[in-house]
Amino acid sequence: MANNPISEDREITIRDLYPHLTDEELREAEENMEKYLELELRMYERIFADPEAYARFKRLTAAPRRHTVQDKGRAFLNNHIISKE
């Protein structure tokens, strides 16, 4: 894709993302993106500075554990142990 300007080694601009917007709309989109990134940075800094908040964040964003057939069998056996009397 040598003709694709985005595939070149260059920085992608907001115009690349929204080529159909006017110059005024692009300025507004860029301002909104900057505000959003500033908010995200403040949230990250606050969470990272608070160990409890960071632990909660890690739990909420952790990839779900994939269960295997063995896990389900173990859970079944743990819940249905037959006691010898």
- Each residue of 39-53: pLDDT tens digit? 999 999 999 999 999
pLDDT digits (tens, 9 = 90+) for 74-85: 666 666 655 544
SS3 15: helix
36: tokens are: 């959003």
Q: Are 59 and 51 in contact (CB under 8 A)?
A: no
How far apart CA 71 and CA 81 sit, in angstroms, is 15
Q: Which amino acid is at 16?
A: D
